[in-house]
Structure 1
Amino acid sequence: MLRLSALYRYPLKSGKGEVLQSAELDKLGLTGDRRWMLVDEASGRFLTQRAEARMSQLSALWNADGGLTLATSGQGSIDIPLPADDAELRGVTIWRDTLRVPDAGDEAARWVSEFLGKSTRLVQMPLDRARTTQSGFGHDDDQVAFADGYPLLLIGDASLQDLSGKVGRSLEMLRFRPNLVIEGSAAYAEDGWKRIRVGDIEFRVVKPCSRCIMTTVDPQTGERSADREPFATLQKHRATVDGAMFGQNLVNDGNGRLEVGMPVEILE
């Protein structure tokens, strides 16, 4: 029997993940997931662990009112409220998308700038300013917040176990930043799924996830692996013309609640 074995949320893009026992879904995936993002103050370009590995050590907790609590060792914590309806809009760029979203204000900017050691702004994604997903996959009206391309990412437990065996050491699931983890399937079985149901909610499996150097960042320490693992092994064993694939991108068809332990049904 397949079941949902873990749930993760990442309130701040490239910040630490939250381990959840249950979560609500809205039209952008897990409520509170990747709704906040750091950007370079001058350019508006998004910042991630790809260039700023220490972001992996930045704790980011989503609050029920939509606000954010940031914390890191040596700097304490800061509670950041959801921007007001009339908050300043800042032009930002994430991959090929340019958009205007609410800025979290100067106090938040000072805090994140001190953390990264450069002028940085914190921005937030309201539901009504969401991006559309990549053309050619899913539906034309599918939307996403600040996640790279799609609202949700799924990985099978067995797939991680197989990859760990090939690398030669145990790998942390958080290294790959999934939202849903499925137990009970064969390694990489998710590659062949098109539609699944978890509890009462249906999901479309729209596209494999192309991995990058970010997988080499240890989520516990923020250090990059000297041997470029597990990215090197993914490039060897999971390479396609579109990159080294691990995990599947999902879009939820409908809102509702997920809980760890829920049964998973393969519909197609």
Structure 2
Amino acid sequence: MSSNLSTSLGLSNKTLIGVGVGLVAAGTAGYLVYRHLHRDLMPIKWRRVGTLQQIHIFPVKSCAPLKISDQQQEYDCDLLGIGIDSWRDRKFMLINDNNEMITARGYPHMVHIQPKQINNGLLFTAPGMPDLPLDFHHLQSPGKDGKDVRTAVWGVSLTVMLCGTQFDTWFSQFILKKDSGLKLVYYPYSVPVRTTLPDMKHMPFLRQTDSGTLNDATSYMLMNLASIADLNTRLKQPVEPLQFRGNFELKMDVDKPYAEDGWQWIRIGDDAVFRVVAPCTRCILPNINVNTAQRNVDGEPLKTLRSYRLFNYSSPALGIHLGLRRPGNVKANDVVYVEDE
């Protein structure tokens, strides 16, 4: 705009500069909004990166994965997490007499509690303990018989239901070596009800419905076996993938450690689509050997992970948290795809 025109309009040079800056800012903001929305659109094109080598359901938080005889079993993926009919991931949890969550972080031998699939229920086994069956038909909804209990998962409160005194006694005897002190509870809802963890609210693509059942953070987590293999080259004693307790273990066609750091979308098989919503930052749980239930005296693998996977987090990252964006069935050896850029 010429100086004569600006004078005729009664606009100073400072005003014109301000208007220009405002227009640029508005345009930039509009572009950022467009880019954000565009990045959250489900991809149309996909490229294959590998196959699912292993799928895990952990019915009881911090205990062993569900033992399934049929390796070709299909798993359904919905907002609550991965499951097979009524057998769901992290549907059960242990709390103490103060209704506080307990995990293998404090009681490593919890990883030796083995849930097995039986007709409409679970069979719990543990070293030195009698087998204990649980019938899903006996599980009730909130508000009945006063069996609901208020607890929390990492500070986020929710109501759960008690399973019964026989389960409290069994788990207390194995974990605490006494007849009481622990209670087995279960998640009674058909949808995710927990709010997002406070320290994850800054994640732009995380939704409240990604909270799942009684998971630490989100309803799904994937481990790239190439990343674990690379970690093992740095350790004196290699660790097993199961120590990271992921639902999905990915075997890449071409091993690329930490390739998952750059992925935004994942499709497994023909239908199930997931949004990568956060890196999985690690606590001390991977330091527990799943075979011996012993915690590594040198603090490994967490110590080594901290040396090169800390980034700007307080804990090192390995694996990725996923949020379901399209339900579907998955099974071992399904092809895994990521967005094709």
**TM-score clears 0.5:** yes
Q: 1:19–1:211: structure 2 CA closer, same or farther, 3 Å change rule?
A: farther
Residue 197, structure 1, aligned to residue 260, structure 2: no
CA distance in 1: counterparts of 2:128 and 2:285, whole angstroms: 24
When the two structures are superposed, what TM-score results if normalisation uses the length of structure 2? 0.74
SS at match of 1:167: coil
In the TM superposition, 1:1-268 aligns within 5 A as 1-18=49-66, 21=71, 22-31=74-83, 32-41=88-97, 43-62=98-117, 65=120, 67-82=121-136, 83-85=139-141, 86=144, 88-117=147-176, 118-128=180-190, 130=192, 131-134=194-197, 135-137=201-203, 138-184=206-252, 185-199=255-269, 200-242=271-313, 243-267=315-339
SS at match of 1:70: strand
Q: CA deviation at 1:232?
A: 0.6
C-alpha distance after superposition, 1:136-162 (max 9, x if no partner)? 331244331111010111011100100
How many residue pairs are counted as aligned between the two chains? Answer: 266
CA distance in 2: counterparts of 1:128 and 1:64, whole angstroms: 21
When the two structures are superposed, what TM-score results if normalisation uses the length of structure 1? 0.93
Stretches of structure 1 that go unaligned for 5 or more consecutive residues are none
Greater C-alpha radius of gyration: 2
Q: CA deviation at 1:19?
A: 6.0
Q: Is the 8 A contact 2:140 2:188 kept in 1?
A: no
CA distance in 1: counterparts of 2:118 and 2:219, whole angstroms: 19
Q: Hey, which of these two has a bigger chunk of strand by percent? A: 1
CA RMSD across the alignment: 1.8
CA distance in 2: counterparts of 1:206 and 1:64, whole angstroms: 35
SS at match of 1:240: coil
Q: Hey, which of these two has a bigger chunk of helix by percent? A: 2
Identity %: 28
Q: Is the 8 A contact 1:158 1:183 kept in 2?
A: yes
Residue identity matched to 2:80: L
C-alpha distance after superposition, 1:114-157 (max 9, x if no partner)? 11225100000123463233333312443311110101110111
Q: Is the 8 A contact 1:44 1:91 kept in 2?
A: yes
Q: Please identify, of 229-238 and 22-31, the stretch whose mean Cα deviation from structure 2 is larger.
A: 22-31
